[in-house]
């Protein structure tokens, strides 16, 4: 029997209960050869304190008894590489985001800093024992990386038998910011001229209130198991992004998979990763970024063709069951761990 190793997930931005981190931990622990721990910076502090919290995390890392450090941000990677130089641990860099564009936005810094962050991140990544990327688009920056998509867990229960209203649109998210719902709200407002009963269903918590009198319902937090039924009642799922910066342009929002899991058709922005999934599955209609007229036209098209709309929803659900689920890709993580340990 091989010796059991400890994998320490080191994260400075993502919470310990992040869905990706939890799936990775579960996969690794089910393998039997590994245990896992998480060392992270707890959110909710002023940004100026980050260097001090980062130093505290580095001290924790130095005293953590782990042979593999699985890092989720560039600064976490820096800590793990520093520890590696002293204690010869293995390092895996898990790239969730396009950090050169995301980091300046997060801290309110000038966008030109992206040109400095990019070479530094890649320099550190080359010194890791393995690099995992969340998508093919992100992976283009890291030759030889392993693509481990953020696919959901496979469905374990059949869909609830509820009526689908194609005059009701939905957006789902753990925390819905104004830029998540802007185009959907504009489209529903225009649709009221022909469908007075149209609504936009927001499933999740709102970061800020919507304008008074908007044709919107908001569920607030829902347990994960209740989301498919809520989405089915909504009828059409919206995955609309405005590619204001690179991390958004190449992103693949989890809400797209939520709609597919619920078996409802989607109206989605034609950005690289989203377009690839929708084209491969025929699960919905693609629109250009910020084109509210196209969103309105797509909604009307689906409402007039309920058979095609249901077929699209079924195609999305079948794709999740057969291909776009975590079980289909999780072996890539074990291979990555094994290969990095053998180096």
Q: Which tens digit of pLDDT belongs to each residue from 185-220? A: 999 999 999 999 999 999 998 888 888 888 898 988
Model's pTM, two decimal places? 0.91
Q: Which conformational region is residue 263 in: left (phi greater than 0), alpha (psi within -120 to 50 degrees), or beta?
A: left
Residue 97 has pLDDT above 60, yes or no: yes
Q: Which conformational region is residue 10 in: left (phi greater than 0), alpha (psi within -120 to 50 degrees), or beta?
A: beta
Residues with Cβ < 8 Å from 29, sequence gap 6 or more? 35, 36
State the pLDDT at residue 101: 95
CA distances 150 to 127, 242, 327, Å, are 24, 20, 11
State the pLDDT at residue 81: 97
Q: Give residue for tokens 């564009």.
A: 101
Each residue's pLDDT tens digit, 299-342: 999 999 999 999 999 999 999 999 999 999 999 999 999 877 66
Domains in the chain with CATH codes: 5-151+326-342 (3.40.50.2000), 168-322 (3.40.50.2000)
- Of 302 and 175, more confident: 302
What band does 343 get if pLDDT is binned at 50, 70 and 90? low
* Integer Cα distance of 10 and 84 in angstroms: 13
Residue 49 has pLDDT above 60, yes or no: yes
- Of 283 and 45, more confident: 283
Phi, psi at 244, each rounded to 5°: -70, -25
State the pLDDT at residue 1: 43
State the pLDDT at residue 194: 92
Cβ atoms 206, 218 nearer than 8 A: yes
Q: Residue range 164-170: average pLDDT?
A: 89
Q: What is the mean pLDDT of the chain?
A: 92
Q: Residue range 106-135: average pLDDT?
A: 92
Which residue in 277, 288, 281, 233 sits closest to 255, CA to CA? Answer: 277
**β-bridge partners, 27:** none
Percent of the chain with pLDDT over 90: 75
Q: Residue range 216-230: average pLDDT?
A: 86
Q: What does the block give as tokens for 180? A: 């998540």
State the pLDDT at residue 342: 64
Percent of the chain with pLDDT over 70: 99
* Integer Cα distance of 293 and 291 in angstroms: 5
Each residue's pLDDT tens digit, 250-287: 999 999 999 999 999 999 999 999 999 999 999 999 99
Which residue in 337, 152, 170, 327 sits closest to 264, CA to CA? Answer: 170
State the pLDDT at residue 23: 95
Cβ atoms 340, 92 nearer than 8 A: yes
Residue 31 has pLDDT above 70, yes or no: yes
State the pLDDT at residue 180: 86
Q: How do beta strands 168-176 and 266-269 pair?
A: unpaired
What band does 2 get if pLDDT is binned at 50, 70 and 90? low
Residue 27 has pLDDT above 60, yes or no: yes
What band does 294 get if pLDDT is binned at 50, 70 and 90? very high
Which residue in 177, 198, 166 sits closest to 240, CA to CA? Answer: 177
Cβ atoms 303, 166 nearer than 8 A: yes
State the pLDDT at residue 156: 83
């Amino acid at each position: 029997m091989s010796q059991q190793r400890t994998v320490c997930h080191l994260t400075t931005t993502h919470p310990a209960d992040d869905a990706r981190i939890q799936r990775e931990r579960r996969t690794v622990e089910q393998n039997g050869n590994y245990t896992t721990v998480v060392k992270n910076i707890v959110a909710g502090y002023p940004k100026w304190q980050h260097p001090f919290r980062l130093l505290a995390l580095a001290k924790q890392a130095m005293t953590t008894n782990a042979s593999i450090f699985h890092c989720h941000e560039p600064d976490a990677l820096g800590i793990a590489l520093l520890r590696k130089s002293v204690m010869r641990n293995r390092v895996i860099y898990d790239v969730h985001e396009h950090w050169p564009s995301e980091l300046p936005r997060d801290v309110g810094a000038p966008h030109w800093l992206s040109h400095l962050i990019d070479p530094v991140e890649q320099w550190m990544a080359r010194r890791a024992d393995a690099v995992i990327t969340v998508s093919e688009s992100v992976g283009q920056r890291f030759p030889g990386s392993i693509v481990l998509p953020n696919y959901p867990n496979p469905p374990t229960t059949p869909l609830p038998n509820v009526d689908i209203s194609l005059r009701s649109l939905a957006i789902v998210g753990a925390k819905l910011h104004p830029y998540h719902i802007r185009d959907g709200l504009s489209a529903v407002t225009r649709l009221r001229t022909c469908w007075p009963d149209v609504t936009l269903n927001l499933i999740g918590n709102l970061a800020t209130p919507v304008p008074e009198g908007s044709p919107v319902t908001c569920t607030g937090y829902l347990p994960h198991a209740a989301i498919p039924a809520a989405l089915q009642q909504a009828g059409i799922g919206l995955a609309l992004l405005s590619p204001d910066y690179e991390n958004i342009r190449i992103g693949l929002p989890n809400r797209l998979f939520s709609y597919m899991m619920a078996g409802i058709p989607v109206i989605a922005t034609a950005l690289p990763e989203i377009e690839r999934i929708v084209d491969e599955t025929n699960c919905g209609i693609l629109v250009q970024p910020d084109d509210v007229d196209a969103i309105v036209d797509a909604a009307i098209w689906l409402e007039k063709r309920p058979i095609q709309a249901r077929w699209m929803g079924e195609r999305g659900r079948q794709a999740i069951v057969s291909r776009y689920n975590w079980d289909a890709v999780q072996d890539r993580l074990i291979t990555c761990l094994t290969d990095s340990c053998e180096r």
